[in-house]
C-alpha cells in the first residue's frame, strides 16, 4: 500500500519501497527553487536517509510542462542588494550534495522545461530519463543571464560528459530537446511521457551509478574545452559569466574545490551591473510577451500587405509562417516577382537552418496570394501598408484603403518615421489607423513598434498588441512623433559617426570602437546596411522636427548624389566584394585630410571597469593606437543616444524607462548586458554623465543635456526606482 506525505512544495509517496518525490508548487504553473523549496527538499532527504527500507528514489514534477525551471531569479536579483546570495547558493549545494550521497539509487524523471537548477538537481541523481514530448527542454542557460551554474553544473556535468561537451552546453546556454540531450549525454534514456515513471523505476534496478570520473587532465588544461575560446576573448563581450564558467571547467579541481569555485563565481557575478541587467531583461521579455490585458484578443487569420519591397515581402513571409493568410499587393508584376523571390529565399534559408521543415515552409508559401490588380478585401482583418517612405504615396494608399477595406479592424502602416496621424486623416475612420513598425530583417528582429496616433482607439491598440504577440513578436507602444523611438534615438548616433568619419577619424576605428563597446555592428557599417539614401531621407524628416542634431553631414549627401548607397550598390563606407569588406577609397575626397574630432577640446573617455571616468583631450594624433582612442569614440556616440532616449521619456513618446531601454535592445542590438541607454546612464553615473556632456556642449551644442537628464543629476535621482 502506498504511503503519501505532502510538504508545501513537494509531495512524497512510498510505493514498493521506492520513494517518489513530486515537485508541485501550489497555486503556480511552474516549479522553481526558492528558500522554501530547498527547505522542503532538505526535510525530504532527512526522511529518506532515516528510512532503511527504501530501495530507491525518483524525482519528478506534477506540472504539465515544467519539471523545475531553476532558481527563482527574483530572489537572486534581490540578494544582489542584500548580500544573502552566498548563503542561498551554499545551502543549495549542501542539499544537492546530500542527494548525490544517498546510499540508494536515484533517478530524475524529466517532463517539461528542465533548466538551470532544475537540471542541476538531476545531475545530483544517479540516472536521468526524459519524456520525448516537445515541452521537454533541458539545459543550463545561466551564462545567458550573467551567472554560472553553481549548484553543481560546472562541476558534475564535465565529469559526466567531458569538459569539451560540458563547455559547449554551458557557454551556449541553449535548451535542448530530449533527443538532443540524449545525444549529448545529458540524459540516459528518452521515452514516451506515459512510460516515464516506469522507465525511472526500471533504471533504479541498475543500482548506484559508478562514481563520476574526474575531468581528464588533457581536457581540464583547456586544450579542447570551450572550442578554443579564451577567457580573455569571452570577457570582451561584457558578460563575464561564460569566461568564469570556462575557468572552472578547465581547472583540475576536486569536486569540493570546484563547487567552491562555482560559489565564488556566482556571488561575484551577481553583484555586477551586467548580470543584474541581464536578469532584468529576462523579466522584461516575459512582460512584453504576456502583456497586461486580461481579455483574449481576436485572432487574426486574414491580412493584406501593400507593397512587395524588402519590408513588405518580409512582413508577408512572417505572417504566412505564423498561420495568417496574406494578400500581397503591389503596382507591378516586376515588384511582385522580386518580393516573392525574397519570400522564397527566406523560407529556403529557414529550412536550411533547421528552423522549420520543408512541409511547414510549403504550407506557409501557400498562404500568400500576390496580385498587381485590385483585389477584394472583404475578409481581411488587418491591412499593413509597407510602400515607399514618401508621405504622398502613403496618403494615397490610405485614401484607397478607406474604400477598399471598409471592414478591416486595423489599417496599419509600417512607416519608420512618417506621422501616423497624417495618414489617419486621409480616412473616415482614423480610430482604426495605427503604426506597426517592423524591423529588417523581419524574420529575425523581434521588435514591433506599435505607434499610436492622436485618434487611434483603445480597441485598435488592444487589437494591435494582441496581433503582434500572436505572430510571436514583442510590441513596444510609442506615441506618434517623428522617428518614433528607435530611429529617433539611433540617428543622432549614426549621423555623428558619419561626421567623425568626414572629419578624418578612420572608419575602422569608429566601427571597431563600437563593436568592442558591445554593439553588434559598427555605425558606419550599419549605415551601409540601411542604405545611405534611406539614411539621408530619414535624417531629413527628423531634422525638420528636431533641428541640427539630426542633420545629415555633407559626406552622406555627397555619397547619395554619387549613388554610393552602401551594400546594395556594392559600396558605401566600405567596398563589398562577396564576403570581403574593405575601406572605400572612392569617398576619401570628401573627408578632412587630418583627423580632427569636431568638438576640439573635450571627448569622453574612461576606464571600462569603473563607474565614472575622466575626460581627456580630443585633438588626436593620427598615429594614436586604436586601443587608446576607442573610449573617445564610443562614449561620444553613446551620450547622444542616452540624451535622445531621455527626451523620448521626457516627452512621453514612451511611457516608461523600460520601454525605451528594451525597445533599443530589441531594435538596435544595444548590448543587453548594459541594460539599454537609460540603465547605462545610471550605471555610468548621472551627475558625471551630465558634466561630461556639458563639457562637450561647449564646442558642439548637440551634446547639451536635456532637462530631465539635468534634473536627475541635480537631484541625485534616477530613471528607475531600483
Q: Which long-range contacts (CB under 8 A, 24 or more apart) does 7-13 make?
A: 7/40, 7/43, 7/44, 8/36, 8/40, 9/36, 9/37, 9/40, 10/37, 10/40, 10/41, 10/44, 11/62, 12/44, 12/47
Task: Express each pLDDT in 438-452 by its tens digit.
Answer: 999 999 999 999 999
Rg value, the chain, Cα? 28
Whether domain 3-142+151-213 has CATH 3.90.226.10: the reply is yes
- pLDDT category at 79 given cuts 50, 70, 90 is confident
For the segment 682-709, the average pLDDT, to the nearest whole number, is: 94
Sequence-ordered strand ranges (E) for 423-491: 433-438, 447-452, 474-479
Task: Express each pLDDT in 571-628 by its tens digit.
Answer: 999 999 988 999 999 999 999 866 655 543 434 444 343 333 332 333 333 333 333 3
What per-residue confidence (pLDDT) applies to 594?
63
Task: Express each pLDDT in 262-319 by its tens digit.
Answer: 999 999 999 999 999 999 999 999 899 888 777 777 899 999 999 999 999 999 999 9
- Residue 60: C-alpha distances to residues 34, 66, 67, 210, 601 (Å): 17, 10, 7, 22, 65
What per-residue confidence (pLDDT) applies to 4?
62
Task: Express each pLDDT in 224-263 by its tens digit.
Answer: 455 455 555 565 578 999 999 999 999 989 999 999 999 9
Task: Express each pLDDT in 53-67 by its tens digit.
Answer: 999 999 999 999 999
What per-residue confidence (pLDDT) applies to 27?
87
Domain ranges of the chain: 3-142+151-213, 302-479, 486-715
Q: How far is CA 661 from the centre of its chain?
A: 12
- With a pLDDT cut of 90, the percent of the chain lying above it is 78
> C-alpha grid cell for residue 693?
556632456
Among 511, 600, 591, CA closest to 553 = 591
Residue tagged active-site, from 31, 220, 258, 487? 487
What per-residue confidence (pLDDT) applies to 136?
96
Task: Express each pLDDT in 375-413 by its tens digit.
Answer: 778 889 999 999 988 889 999 989 888 888 877 889 999
For the segment 538-552, the average pLDDT, to the nearest whole number, is: 94
- pLDDT category at 215 given cuts 50, 70, 90 is low
Three-state DSSP state, 108: strand
Residue tagged active-site, from 31, 220, 385, 437? 437
- With a pLDDT cut of 70, the percent of the chain lying above it is 90
Residue tagged active-site, from 449, 496, 499, 692? 449
> C-alpha grid cell for residue 704?
547639451
> C-alpha grid cell for residue 103?
546510499
- Judge whether residue 542 has pLDDT over 80: yes
For the segment 14-24, the average pLDDT, to the nearest whole number, is: 95
Whole-angstrom distance, CA of residue 485 vs CA of residue 477: 9
Q: Which long-range contacts (CB under 8 A, 24 or more apart) does 345-350 make?
A: 346/314, 346/317, 346/441, 346/443, 347/317, 347/321, 350/321, 350/443
Helix, strand, coil tally for the chain in percent (to 5)? 50, 15, 35
Does 111 participate in catalysis according to the annotation?
no
Does 608 participate in catalysis according to the annotation?
no
- Judge whether residue 366 has pLDDT over 70: yes
- pLDDT category at 6 given cuts 50, 70, 90 is low
Sequence-ordered strand ranges (E) for 77-131: 106-110, 113-115, 127-131
- Judge whether residue 78 has pLDDT over 90: no
Q: How far is CA 502 from the centre of its chain?
A: 33
Q: Select from 1.10.540.10, 3.40.50.720, 3.30.200.20, 3.20.190.10 the CATH code of 302-479.
A: 3.40.50.720
Does 487 participate in catalysis according to the annotation?
yes
Going by their DSSP bridges, the two strands 10-15 and 3-6 should be labelled as: antiparallel
> C-alpha grid cell for residue 505?
577619424
Whole-angstrom distance, CA of residue 675 vs CA of residue 683: 9
Whole-angstrom distance, CA of residue 245 vs CA of residue 173: 11
What per-residue confidence (pLDDT) applies to 5?
62
CB 64 within 8 Å of CB 112: yes
DSSP 549: G
Does 437 participate in catalysis according to the annotation?
yes
Whole-angstrom distance, CA of residue 414 vs CA of residue 391: 12
For the segment 515-532, the average pLDDT, to the nearest whole number, is: 95
Domains 3-142+151-213 and 486-715 share a fold: no
Task: Express each pLDDT in 458-505 by its tens digit.
Answer: 999 999 999 999 999 999 999 999 999 999 999 999 999 999 999 999
What per-residue confidence (pLDDT) applies to 224?
47
Residue tagged active-site, from 165, 416, 584, 643? 416
Considering only 148-162, 169-183, 354-368, 378-392, which range has the smallest mean pLDDT? 378-392
Q: Select from 1.10.10.10, 3.90.550.10, 1.10.1040.50, 3.40.50.720 the CATH code of 486-715.
A: 1.10.1040.50
Amino acid at each position: 500500500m502506498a504511503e503519501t506525505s505532502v510538504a508545501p512544495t513537494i509531495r512524497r509517496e512510498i510505493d514498493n519501497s521506492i520513494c517518489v518525490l513530486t515537485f508541485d508548487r501550489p497555486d503556480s504553473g511552474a516549479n522553481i527553487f526558492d528558500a522554501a523549496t530547498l527547505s522542503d527538499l532538505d526535510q525530504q532527504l532527512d526522511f529518506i536517509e532515516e528510512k532503511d527500507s527504501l530501495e530507491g528514489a525518483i524525482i519528478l514534477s506534477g506540472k504539465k510542462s515544467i519539471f523545475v525551471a531553476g532558481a527563482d531569479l527574483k530572489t537572486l536579483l534581490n540578494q544582489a542588494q542584500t548580500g544573502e546570495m552566498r548563503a542561498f547558493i551554499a545551502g543549495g549545494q549542501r542539499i544537492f550534495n546530500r542527494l548525490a550521497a544517498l546510499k540508494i539509487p536515484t533517478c530524475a524523471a524529466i517532463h517539461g522545461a528542465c533548466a538551470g537548477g532544475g537540471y542541476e538537481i538531476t545531475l545530483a541523481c544517479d540516472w536521468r530519463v526524459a519524456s520525448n514530448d516537445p515541452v521537454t527542454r533541458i539545459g543550463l542557460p545561466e551564462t545567458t543571464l550573467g551567472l554560472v551554474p553553481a549548484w553543481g553544473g560546472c562541476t558534475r556535468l564535465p565529469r559526466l560528459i567531458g569538459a569539451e561537451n560540458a563547455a559547449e552546453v554551458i557557454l551556449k546556454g541553449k535548451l535542448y530537446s530530449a533527443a538532443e540531450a540524449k545525444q549529448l549525454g545529458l540524459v540516459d534514456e528518452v521515452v514516451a511521457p506515459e512510460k516515464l515513471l516506469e522507465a525511472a523505476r526500471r533504471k533504479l534496478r541498475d543500482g548506484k551509478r559508478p562514481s563520476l570520473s574526474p575531468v581528464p587532465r588533457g581536457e581540464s588544461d583547456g586544450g579542447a574545452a570551450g572550442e578554443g575560446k579564451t577567457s580573455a576573448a569571452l570577457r570582451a563581450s561584457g558578460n563575464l559569466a561564460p569566461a568564469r564558467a570556462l575557468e572552472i571547467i578547465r581547472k583540475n579541481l576536486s569536486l569540493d574545490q570546484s563547487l567552491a569555485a562555482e560559489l565564488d563565481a556566482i556571488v561575484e557575478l551577481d553583484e555586477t551591473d551586467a548580470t543584474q541587467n541581464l536578469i532584468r531583461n529576462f523579466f522584461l521579455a516575459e512582460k512584453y510577451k504576456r502583456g497586461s490585458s486580461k481579455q483574449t484578443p481576436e485572432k487574426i487569420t486574414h491580412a493584406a500587405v501593400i507593397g512587395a519591397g524588402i519590408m513588405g515581402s518580409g512582413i508577408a513571409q512572417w505572417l504566412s509562417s505564423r498561420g495568417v493568410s496574406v494578400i500581397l499587393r503591389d503596382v507591378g508584376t516586376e515588384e511582385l516577382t522580386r518580393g516573392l523571390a525574397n519570400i522564397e529565399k527566406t523560407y529556403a534559408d529557414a529550412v536550411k537552418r533547421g528552423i522549420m521543415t520543408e512541409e511547414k515552409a510549403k504550407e506557409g508559401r501557400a498562404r500568400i496570394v500576390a496580385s498587381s490588380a485590385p483585389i477584394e478585401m472583404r475578409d481581411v482583418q488587418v491591412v499593413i501598408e509597407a510602400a515607399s517612405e514618401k508621405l504622398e504615396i502613403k496618403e494615397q494608399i490610405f485614401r484607397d484603403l478607406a474604400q477598399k477595406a471598409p471592414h478591416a479592424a486595423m489599417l496599419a502602416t509600417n512607416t519608420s518615421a512618417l506621422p501616423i496621424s497624417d495618414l489617419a486623416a486621409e480616412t473616415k475612420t482614423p480610430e482604426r489607423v495605427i503604426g506597426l513598425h517592423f524591423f529588417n530583417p523581419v524574420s529575425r528582429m523581434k521588435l514591433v513598434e506599435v505607434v499610436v496616433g492622436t485618434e487611434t482607439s483603445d480597441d485598435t491598440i488592444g487589437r494591435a498588441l494582441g496581433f503582434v504577440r500572436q505572430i510571436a513578436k514583442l510590441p513596444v507602444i510609442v506615441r506618434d512623433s517623428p522617428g518614433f523611438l528607435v530611429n529617433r534615438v539611433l540617428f543622432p548616433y549614426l549621423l555623428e559617426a558619419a561626421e567623425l568619419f568626414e572629419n578624418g577619424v578612420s572608419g575602422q576605428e569608429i566601427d571597431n570602437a563600437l563593436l568592442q563597446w558591445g554593439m553588434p555592428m559598427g555605425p558606419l557599417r550599419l549605415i551601409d546596411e540601411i542604405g545611405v539614401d534611406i539614411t539621408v531621407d530619414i535624417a531629413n524628416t527628423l531634422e525638420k522636427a528636431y533641428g541640427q542634431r539630426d542633420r545629415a553631414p555633407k559626406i552622406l549627401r555627397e555619397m547619395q548624389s554619387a549613388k554610393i548607397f552602401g551594400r546594395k550598390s556594392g559600396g558605401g563606407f566600405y567596398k563589398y566584394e562577396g564576403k570581403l569588406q574593405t575601406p572605400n577609397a572612392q569617398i576619401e575626397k570628401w573627408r578632412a585630410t587630418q583627423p580632427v574630432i569636431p568638438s576640439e577640446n573635450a571627448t569622453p573617455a574612461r576606464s571600462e571597469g569603473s563607474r565614472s571616468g575622466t575626460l581627456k583631450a580630443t585633438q588626436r594624433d593620427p598615429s594614436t593606437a586604436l586601443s587608446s582612442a576607442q573610449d573617445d569614440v564610443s562614449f561620444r556616440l553613446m551620450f547622444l543616444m542616452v540624451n535622445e532616449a531621455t527626451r523620448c521619456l521626457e516627452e512621453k513618446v514612451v511611457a516608461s524607462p523600460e520601454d525605451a531601454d528594451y525597445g533599443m535592445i530589441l531594435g538596435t542590438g544595444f548590448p543587453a548586458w548594459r541594460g539599454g541607454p537609460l540603465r547605462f546612464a545610471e550605471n555610468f553615473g548621472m551627475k558625471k554623465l551630465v558634466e561630461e556632456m556639458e563639457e562637450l556642449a561647449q564646442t558642439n551644442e548637440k551634446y547639451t543635456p536635456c532637462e530631465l537628464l539635468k534634473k536627475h543629476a541635480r537631484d541625485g535621482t534616477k530613471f528607475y526606482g531600483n
